[in-house]
Amino acid sequence: MTEFQGTTIQNAIDQGLKALHLEREQVAVDVISEGRKGFLGIGRKPARVEVKPLSNVKSLITQTNTTHEKIAQIQTYLKAIVAAMDFDQQVQLIKNADNLKFEIQTQEQNQSRVIGKHGKNINALQTIIQEYAYYLDFREEPILLDCGGYRKRRQEALIALSTFKAEQVQATHKPTYLDPMPALERKIIYENLAANNQVIVRTQGRGLDRYLVIKPA
C-alpha cells in the first residue's frame, strides 16, 4: 500500500512517511488528488498521494532502461542480418500490446525474398531473433517479424483454411492433418476454432515438424 490520505497534501505525505518509517528525502511523491474542503464539511474530500521509496523507483528505472537497451540490441542484431541480404531495406520497431513487432520495410519486388515460400524465410528469421532475445534474457514480450503485410494475409488464409477443414471434418467425421507450422500460426487456428464444439484441435510432432490435427469432437 503506497497511497495515503490526509486533510492536506502535506498531511497525506506525513501519513505515508510515518507508515513507511522513512524521511522525506527517501521517497518520491505523486499527488493523486489535492482534496476539497467542502462547505460546512459537506462535500469534503481528502487529499491523496502516492509515496514510493526511492529504492523502488530507482529499481524500476534501472529495469526500464535495461529493457530499452535489450530491445535496441535486438533491433541492431536484426538490422545486421537483413543488411547481409544485399538490397535496400529498413527495420522499424512497432510496440504492440501483445508483442514486440519489427517491420522489415523493403521494395515490393524484394518482399517475397524476405518472406519466402509459405513464410519460410521470415519464420526462420523470427526464430533466430527470438532465440537471441532469450539469450539476452528478454522475455517481457514475444517477438514478431513482418514484411509487406504478410502476417495479416497469412492470418486471413489460416482462418479460412481452418474453417474449411473443420467443416470437412464435421461432414466426414474423419480427422484432417495440416502441414507443419510455427507456434504463432497454430495459435491462430486454435483461437479460430475455439468456439466450435464439433471439432477438437491437437498439436502433434516435435520441434519444427509440429503440425495440427483437427478431429471430430
What pLDDT, in 10s, does the model give residues 106-124? 888 888 888 998 898 999 9
Residue 118 has what pLDDT? 85
State yes or no: pLDDT of 64 exceeds 90. no
Q: Give the 3-state secondary structure of residue 193.
A: helix
The edge-to-edge listing of strands for the beta sheet with 176-177 is 176-177, 211-216, 199-204
Residue 51 has what pLDDT? 84
State yes or no: pLDDT of 59 exceeds 60. no
What pLDDT, in 10s, does the model give residues 122-135? 999 998 898 888 88
Topology (CATH) of 85-148: GMP Synthetase; Chain A, domain 3 (3.30.300)
Decide if 114 contacts 89 (C-beta within 8 A): yes
Q: pLDDT band at residue 19, thresholds of 50, 70 and 90?
A: confident
State yes or no: pLDDT of 20 exceeds 90. no
Task: Provide the residue ranges of all domains of the chain, joining segments of one domain with +.
Answer: 3-59, 85-148, 152-216
Q: pLDDT band at residue 153, thresholds of 50, 70 and 90?
A: very high
**Rounded to 10 degrees, what is the CA torsion of 33, 38, 41, 46?**
0
Q: What angle do CA 150, 211, 154 make, to 5 degrees?
A: 15
- CATH architecture of the domain 152-216 equals 2-Layer Sandwich (3.30)
Residue 57 has what pLDDT? 55
Supply 194's cell numbers: 475455439
